[in-house]
Every structure is written in C-alpha cells, then in structure tokens.
C-alpha cells in the first residue's frame, strides 16, 4: 500500500512539475540563460548521439526491472572519478539501514566511491515526447553496500548516493521525495571545467578536466568494466520513517561512449563528502586503480519498485564489480 501511494503521488507530482519545468526551460532558452558548454565539443567529437531505448537493454545478471512509461529518460555527459577511499570515512556516510560489503580488490581499509560531474540533458518522463529539461549535477555515490540485518531475498549489492548538488528545482524536489539527499545549488561551467556553489553562498568545489587517449565505445575501455557494473547496481534510499525505497539508474552501456581523462578537483568546503578541503588529481583510469574517465550515455531512471523484483537477478554476485 505504501509503495502504491509513493508511486501514485510521484506520478501526479511529476506531471505537474514536469510541465512547469518544461515551460521554464523554454523561457530560459528564449532569454539565452540556459546554455551549457560543458563537454559540448567533446560530445560532438563522438558523432551522433543515440536515443535512449525503451526498455533499455538488460545487462547480464541484472534483475528483470519493471520498466514503465512513468520512468525517466535522459542523456548524460559527465566526468567520472573513481577511487578507493578510507573505509571509516565512507562508512560514516551510510544510513543506519545499510552496511558495506567487503570488496577484495579495494585493498585494506578501503572502499570504492564514485564521483560524477555531469550534465543531464533532455530529461523527462518516457511518455513525454518532448524532453527539454537539462541540468548540472554533482553526484557522490557509494556502491557495494547491503541491507543491514536482512537475510531474506535480495540484500545487496546496492548503490547509495549520500550527496548530490543540482542547479534545477524539479529534479531536486523529485529526488528529495524519494529519499535522495539532493541539494539545490548553482553551477558555472566552461567547456572543460565546472564550479559548484551553494545556492546562497560560496564555492563548494572546482573541477578541471582534460581528455586523454582514444575515444570510442565504452566497452573498449576495459578498466572501466568493474565500475560499469557498480554504477548499474539498484539504488536504495529512505524517506523519514518509511521502509527503504528501491529505484534504479540504468546507464545504457551498450550505447555509451567514453574516453579516459585527467582530472583536478579542488575541494573548498567541508560539506563535500569523504574528501577534506584541498586539491586532488586523478590520472586516466587504469585497470585495478583509481582514475578518471569521460562518459556520454543515454539513461533511464526508474521510479520505486518492490524489493521482490530484485530476486530475479541471477545472484547478487553478478551485480558486483568483481564478477
């Protein structure tokens, strides 16, 4: 009953907010106030963008997700940084209903963390023919977690997003209502950089990137394979005192393209998760190591579904990075 209420409320709210945000987008574009140069030339160098598929291609070992016209389609171009960070600091970001799964290739006292500095484009419900919403988003996420104290059914691995900064109201509100810790802020971009600000305040972080090497289908970059599986793990969140909610962000890796990159991140606020204020640099991603990569991919984001859906996965291990 609770899940039915959440899904119904979400659908009604998204129709109203979706129409509002689509109109706002038209106004902003007419006034020349919404132009994103971030990674635009890099995106163009990849050739035509493939449209999202519905339903998207199911990756080996994934559950039989209940794709719906009430889900959301979009296209993302993003700089992704992957790293193995201090286990205790990462664990401190988890809610009380989650715990970390041991990851053998992470090394002692380390756990994988993924940062995405991306532009989501043409975001909107699958049923809507014209998707006009675009927004910048900084995502911090922790893969390879599991439900604490649960042994029945599918208990992990899950992907948990402890912090997200966005520059558009609609996706911020929608995410908040589903337990995503989204924060409305401001983002300024150039072709190869972005700076995240508080909505009414100073800078949080600055990113500078440089593409390296040959670009092409994401499958041609084998070092990213384990992280692709991590990024497609189901997502678990919670709203107030509710039972956990299960959603899913489906990267359409069969249509995605990418390129390794060098990234410099300057953290300017203690609000940034895991990383203390300072300057950090990542080299192009290599197998078994931390690093950075640029990704261009269609996606589908699913509204909440029952945990029982996940029992259709071949096993939890097939969704883990090391399998």
Q: What H or E segment, with its residue span, contains residue 15?
A: helix 2-30
Q: How far apart are CA 7 and CA 212, in angstroms?
A: 43
Instruction: Provide the pLDDT for residue 59.
Output: 79
Instruction: Provide the pLDDT for residue 34.
Output: 63
- Which tokens hold the place of 298? 């269609």
Q: What is the CATH number of the domain that holds 189?
A: 2.40.400.10
Q: How far apart are CA 292 and CA 224, in angstroms?
A: 9
Instruction: Provide the pLDDT for residue 107.
Output: 81
Q: How far apart are CA 108 and CA 130, in angstroms?
A: 48
Q: How far apart are CA 11 and CA 62, in angstroms?
A: 25
pLDDT tens-place values along the chain, 323 residues long:
567 777 777 677 767 766 776 777 677 667 666 678 999 999 999 999 998 999 998 877 788 898 988 888 899 999 999 999 999 999 999 999 999 999 988 888 999 999 999 999 988 888 877 777 889 999 999 999 999 988 888 999 999 999 999 998 888 888 888 889 999 999 999 999 999 999 998 999 999 999 998 899 998 898 999 999 999 999 999 887 778 899 999 999 999 999 999 999 999 999 999 999 999 999 999 888 899 999 999 999 998 898 988 875 544 444 555 44
Domain region containing 55 = 2-319
Closest CA to 251 of 104, 82, 58: 58
* Total domains present in the chain: 1
Distance of CA 15 to the CA centre of its chain: 22
Query: Hey, how many other C-beta atoms are within 10 angstroms of the C-beta on 86?
Result: 14
Residue 66, SS3? coil
* Residue that is written with structure tokens 């020349």 in the block: 32
Instruction: Provide the pLDDT for residue 315.
Output: 47
Distance of CA 174 to the CA centre of its chain: 15
Phi, then psi, of 215 in degrees rounded to 5: -95, 160
Closest CA to 7 of 304, 235, 242, 308: 304
- Residue 224 DSSP one-character state: G
Cα 88–92–95 angle (5° rounding)?
140
Instruction: Provide the pLDDT for residue 175.
Output: 87
Q: How far apart are CA 80 and CA 139, in angstroms?
A: 9
Q: How far apart are CA 64 and CA 166, in angstroms?
A: 30
Query: Hey, how many other C-beta atoms are within 10 angstroms of the C-beta on 96?
Result: 8
Instruction: Provide the pLDDT for residue 4.
Output: 72
Query: Hey, how many other C-beta atoms are within 10 angstroms of the C-beta on 192?
Result: 17
First to last CA, the chain: 36
């Amino acid at each position: 009953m609770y899940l039915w209420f959440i899904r119904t409320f979400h659908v009604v709210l998204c129709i109203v907010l979706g129409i509002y945000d689509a109109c706002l987008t038209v106004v902003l574009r007419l006034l020349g106030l919404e132009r994103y140069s971030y990674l635009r030339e890099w995106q163009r160098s990849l050739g035509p963008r493939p449209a999202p598929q519905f339903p998207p291609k199911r990756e080996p070992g994934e559950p039989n997700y209940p794709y719906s016209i009430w889900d959301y389609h979009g296209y993302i171009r993003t700089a992704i940084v992957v790293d193995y960070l201090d286990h205790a600091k990462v664990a401190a970001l988890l809610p009380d209903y989650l715990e970390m799964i041991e990851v053998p290739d992470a090394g002692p006292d380390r756990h994988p963390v993924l940062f995405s500095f991306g532009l989501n484009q043409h975001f909107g419900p699958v049923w809507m023919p014209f998707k006009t919403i675009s927004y910048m988003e900084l995502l911090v996420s922790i893969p390879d977690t599991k439900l604490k104290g649960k042994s029945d059914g599918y208990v992990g691995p899950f992907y948990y997003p402890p912090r997200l900064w966005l520059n558009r109201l609609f996706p911020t509100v929608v995410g908040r209502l589903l337990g995503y810790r989204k924060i409305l802020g401001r983002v300024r971009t150039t072709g190869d950089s972005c700076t995240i600000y508080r909505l009414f305040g100073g800078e949080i972080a600055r990113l500078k990137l440089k593409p390296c090497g040959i670009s092409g289908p994401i499958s041609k970059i084998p070092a990213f394979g384990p992280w692709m599986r991590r990024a497609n793990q189901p997502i678990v969140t919670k709203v107030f005192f509710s039972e956990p909610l299960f959603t899913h962000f489906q990267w359409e890796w069969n249509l995605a393209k990418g390129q390794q990159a060098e990234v410099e991140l300057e953290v300017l606020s203690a609000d940034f998760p895991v990383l203390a204020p300072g300057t950090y640099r990542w080299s192009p991603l290599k197998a078994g190591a931390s690093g950075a990569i640029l990704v261009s991919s269609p996606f589908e984001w699913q509204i909440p579904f029952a945990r029982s859906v996940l029992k259709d996965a071949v096993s939890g291990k097939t969704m883990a990075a090391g399998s």
